[in-house]
């Protein structure tokens, strides 16, 4: 045993857990921890505010197999961090947040910068721990790290009073493996359960995989890819599952839902076996799923509460509570052992036909650059080493529609909570977790303004993060809703003055910062932006009147999908002009 103060124990625990980077912002109530970090090899990245620090830490988690860590001070730092913690909780992202607190004897008083941390985070975190002077800080921290990753992952907030950080304790050097093993999930499918599943699958002629964020890991992605090399079942995915399967493949039809791809939203109307894996049945997807009589549902998820809800609402014929990757491998092993195969050639051809016949498209005749046009162009440069983050709005959905991600944990976006200001701070965490990857933060002018200070963080640290900003001088998604619901009365969604954001980036010290308004400059500027070194910023001024398509209206079903004036059936053209036959998603997007 070694004697050290609480702050030193906190840092030593993180070292034992293999933490290499921390994101944070300092203050009086957390100073002992920052002082202890000075003597550690752990690198601490100082963001522009606490919300950004927690977003960066969550970006670290989202893009890697490790838990991101944020350290903030007390009072307003807690309330600033709340949004990021709630965002991580909504998307099941493991996160560890340490918050400074007033001395224990001042908790519950009107002490300067004191706030009830448990009251603030309430239902917004997986767990909130208020440390007292009698608690064993080492066991709390090491347990919390693995608890954040266990079961349905989520953020854990640990509130550490100032006097606890200063007080001397004995460090026991507990082996972290004992904590990791305590959360090991060894649930497997029984033989009888596998037989039950395959009886349903073999009775179907039009099975469809519905892939969710529960598969968005290296093990989950590998398992479902091997499963589908064997079976060849068409798939659709949630926003949180982009990249779980290679979206360039012709049986992977992309995102389902309110703003899903036209072919995904069409194919779901025809399936007779819906296999949902690691999904939370988001209302923008599930409310629109009106299954025909005879459609069977199978559902695998690790969250028992969600399983209970779906059993009541959807009545799946098969269900399993446990790790999605483990269950998929159990099913695959059973199929190989019993030589089970599928003959769904006609259904596979139908999926390929829809994907090729209904490509995404946009207003090519407009005098203004279209946001969809920018995403279509970017899609031709996306490769297996690309990591994308997005803000929230039309640009987010267009990125989800157009960009053909190839790997798990390659597309980071705010799904459940829909938090504007997400993209840029998240991209910082993505970079530190994946220093050799090309990190591209896609944002709109509305979303980018909310954490504009992170331009300073990126520039001051000379991070090779690329920010692609689509500036339509409005909150485009909300404006689209206003036009439908309020007869075009646009209150609060348009900017009174056009601001040149590239100039702001340049003033912060970005090595590349350009603004374009003419589509003739788009391709050359995109290539220069992607090829430049250091912090890069490309501002593309886009059409304020552009409308996001396709869309399924609120309260509507998939059969009510609105394709808009530009997305059309090109199947006849494909038949008459074989040279135009489309084989990949990226080719589809630039079809002319």
Domain assignment present for 555? no
- The 10s digit of each residue's pLDDT in 405-449 is 999 999 999 999 989 999 999 999 999 999 999 999 999 999 999
Whether 158 and 207 map to the same domain: the answer is no
Domain assignment present for 583? no
Whether 311 and 439 map to the same domain: the answer is no
pLDDT of residue 579: 53
Domain assignment present for 582? no
The gap from C-alpha 58 to its chain's centroid, in whole angstroms, comes to 10
- The Cα–Cα gap between 480 and 367 comes to 20
Whether 169 and 226 map to the same domain: the answer is no
Bridge partners, 250 (sequence order): none
Tell me: pLDDT of 483 over 90. Answer: no
- Decide which of 160, 182, 204 is a domain's last residue: 182
Whether 171 and 212 map to the same domain: the answer is no
Whether 343 and 275 map to the same domain: the answer is yes
Whether 425 and 484 map to the same domain: the answer is yes
pLDDT of residue 108: 82
Whether 165 and 198 map to the same domain: the answer is no
Q: How many domains does the chain have?
A: 3
- CB of 240 closer than 8 Å to CB of 209: no
Identify the CA nearest to 542 among candidates 479, 488, 484.
479
* Cβ contacts of 582 within 8 Å, gap of 6 or more: 356, 359, 574, 588, 591
Whether 199 and 331 map to the same domain: the answer is yes
Task: Tell me which H or E stretch contains 542.
Answer: none
Tell me the CATH number at 230: 3.40.50.1220
Domain assignment present for 567? no
Please state the rounded mean pLDDT for residues 252-270: 94
Whether 318 and 392 map to the same domain: the answer is no
Tell me: pLDDT of 127 over 50. Answer: yes
Tell me: pLDDT of 268 over 90. Answer: yes
Tell me: pLDDT of 335 over 50. Answer: yes
Confidence of residue 582 (pLDDT cuts 50, 70, 90): very low
- Decide which of 155, 182, 209 is a domain's last residue: 182
Query: What domain range is 28 assigned to?
Result: 2-182
Bridge partners, 321 (sequence order): 301
- Token pair belonging to 416: 């459940």
- Token pair belonging to 211: 């892939």
* Cβ contacts of 60 within 8 Å, gap of 6 or more: 21, 23, 66, 68, 69, 429, 430, 432, 433
- The 10s digit of each residue's pLDDT in 211-220 is 999 999 999 9
Identify the CA nearest to 325 among candidates 210, 196, 218.
218
pLDDT of residue 504: 97
Please state the rounded mean pLDDT for residues 272-301: 79
> What torsion, rounded to 10 degrees, do the Cα atoms 261, 263, 266, 270 define?
-130
Domain assignment present for 94? yes
pLDDT of residue 586: 37
Tell me the CATH number at 437: 3.40.50.970
Tell me: pLDDT of 535 over 80. Answer: yes
Q: Is the peptide bond before 550 cis (omega within 30 degrees of 0)?
A: yes
Whether 21 and 93 map to the same domain: the answer is yes
- Decide which of 545, 564, 585 is a domain's last residue: 545
Confidence of residue 592 (pLDDT cuts 50, 70, 90): very low
Please state the rounded mean pLDDT for residues 146-155: 97
Whether 230 and 211 map to the same domain: the answer is yes
Q: Higher model confidence: residue 482 or residue 24?
A: 24
- The 10s digit of each residue's pLDDT in 104-114 is 888 888 888 88
Please state the rounded mean pLDDT for residues 546-570: 91
pLDDT of residue 313: 84
Whether 379 and 298 map to the same domain: the answer is no
- The Cα–Cα gap between 342 and 356 comes to 23
- The Cα–Cα gap between 390 and 198 comes to 38
Tell me: pLDDT of 576 over 80. Answer: no
- DSSP class of residue 44 equals E
- The 10s digit of each residue's pLDDT in 166-209 is 999 999 999 999 999 999 988 999 999 999 999 999 999 999 99
Q: Model-level pTM?
A: 0.93
* Cβ contacts of 225 within 8 Å, gap of 6 or more: 245, 246
Tell me: pLDDT of 345 over 80. Answer: yes
């Amino acid at each position: 045993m070694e004697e050290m103060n609480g702050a030193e124990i906190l840092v030593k625990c993180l070292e034992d857990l293999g933490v290499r980077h921390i994101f944070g912002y300092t203050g009086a109530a957390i100073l002992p921890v920052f002082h202890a970090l000075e003597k550690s090899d752990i690198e601490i990245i100082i963001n522009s505010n606490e919300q950004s620090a927690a977003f960066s830490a969550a970006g670290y988690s989202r893009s890697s197999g490790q838990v991101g860590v944020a350290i903030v001070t007390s009072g307003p730092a807690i309330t600033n961090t709340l949004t990021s913690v709630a965002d991580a909780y909504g998307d099941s992202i493991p996160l560890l947040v340490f918050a400074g607190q007033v001395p224990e004897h001042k908790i519950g008083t009107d002490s300067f910068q004191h706030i009830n941390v448990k009251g603030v985070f309430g239902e917004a975190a997986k767990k909130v721990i208020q440390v007292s002077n009698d608690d064993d800080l080492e066991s709390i921290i090491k347990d919390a790290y693995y608890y954040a990753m266990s079961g349905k992952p989520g953020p854990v907030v640990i509130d550490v009073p100032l006097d606890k950080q200063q007080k001397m304790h004995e460090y026991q050097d507990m082996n972290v493996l004992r904590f990791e093993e305590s959360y090991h999930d060894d649930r497997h499918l029984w033989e009888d359960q596998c037989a039950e599943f395959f009886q349903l699958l073999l009775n179907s002629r039009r099975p469809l995989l519905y892939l969710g964020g529960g598969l968005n890991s290296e093990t989950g992605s590998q398992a479902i890819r091997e499963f589908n090399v064997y079976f060849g079942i068409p798939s659709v995915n949630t926003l949180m599952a982009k990249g779980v399967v290679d979206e360039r493949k012709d049986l992977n039809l992309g995102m389902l839902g309110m703003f899903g791809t036209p072919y995904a939203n069409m194919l779901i109307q025809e399936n007779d076996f819906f296999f949902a894996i690691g999904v939370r049945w988001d209302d923008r997807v599930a409310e629109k799923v009106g299954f025909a009589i005879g459609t069977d549902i199978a559902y695998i998820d690790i969250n028992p509460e969600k399983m209970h809800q779906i059993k009541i609402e959807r009545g799946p014929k098969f269900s399993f509570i446990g790790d999605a990757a483990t269950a998929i491998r159990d099913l695959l092993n059973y199929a190989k052992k019993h030589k089970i195969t599928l003959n769904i050639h006609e259904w596979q051809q139908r999926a390929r036909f829809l994907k090729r016949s209904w490509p995404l498209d946009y207003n090519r005749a407009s005098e203004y650059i279209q946001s969809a046009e920018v995403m279509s162009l970017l899609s031709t440069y996306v490769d297996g080493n690309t990591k994308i983050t997005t803000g929230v709005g039309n640009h987010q959905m267009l990125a989800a529609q157009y960009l053909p991600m190839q790997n798990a944990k390659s597309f980071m976006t705010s799904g459940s909570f829909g938090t504007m200001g997400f993209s840029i701070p998240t991209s910082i965490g993505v970079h530190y977790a994946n220093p050799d990857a090309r990190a591209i933060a896609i944002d709109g002018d509305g979303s980018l303004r909310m954490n504009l200070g992170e331009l300073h963080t990126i520039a001051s640290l000379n991070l090779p993060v690329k920010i692609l900003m689509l500036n339509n001088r409005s909150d485009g998604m909300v404006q689209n809703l206003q036009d439908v619901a309020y007869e075009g009365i646009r209150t609060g969604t348009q900017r009174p003055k056009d601001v040149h954001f590239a100039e702001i980036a340049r003033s912060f010290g970005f090595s590349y910062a350009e603004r374009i308004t003419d589509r003739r400059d788009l391709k050359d500027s995109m290539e220069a932006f992607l090829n430049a070194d250091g912090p890069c910023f490309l501002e593309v001024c886009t059409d304020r009147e552009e409308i996001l398509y396709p869309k399924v209206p609120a309260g509507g079903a998939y059969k009510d999908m609105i394709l808009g004036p530009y997305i059309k059936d090109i199947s006849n053209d494909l038949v008459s002009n074989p040279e135009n036959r489309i084989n990949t998603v990226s080719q589809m997007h630039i079809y002319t």
